[in-house]
Amino acid sequence: MSIETSRIGRKCERAVVTAYQELREVGQPDMQAFAACTTLYRIHHPESSVKEARRLVAEWIDHHVVRQAHGQTPGCDC
């Protein structure tokens, strides 16, 4: 399940994807890992609403983990 995250340019995106993968690898259910990653994103971006954080985290997980796609994703500039 683990993907190479070094190719992810944004620091927060890389942190979120890495955290999600590691939580899933140690047996955390999908929704708990997703919720933890949403919280992680909001710690780095407190200006983001919960809705926006959930959308970005879902897009990043879908892009990098589910589809294992390459290329740019929507998100912040960090």
Q: Is residue 19 part of a domain?
A: yes
**Total number of domains constituting the chain:** 1
pLDDT digits (tens, 9 = 90+) for 22-43: 999 999 999 999 999 999 999 9
Global pTM value: 0.89
pLDDT at 13: 92
Q: Is residue 25 part of a domain?
A: yes
Q: Is residue 5 part of a domain?
A: no
Which segments in the chain show pLDDT lower than 70? 1-2
Q: In Å, how far are 37, 49, 50, 63, 66 from 43, measured between CA atoms?
A: 10, 11, 11, 22, 24
pLDDT at 28: 98
Q: Is residue 2 part of a domain?
A: no
Q: Is residue 47 part of a domain?
A: yes
Q: Is residue 54 part of a domain?
A: yes
Q: Is residue 74 part of a domain?
A: no
pLDDT at 42: 96
Per the structure, the complete domain to which residue 24 belongs is given by 11-66
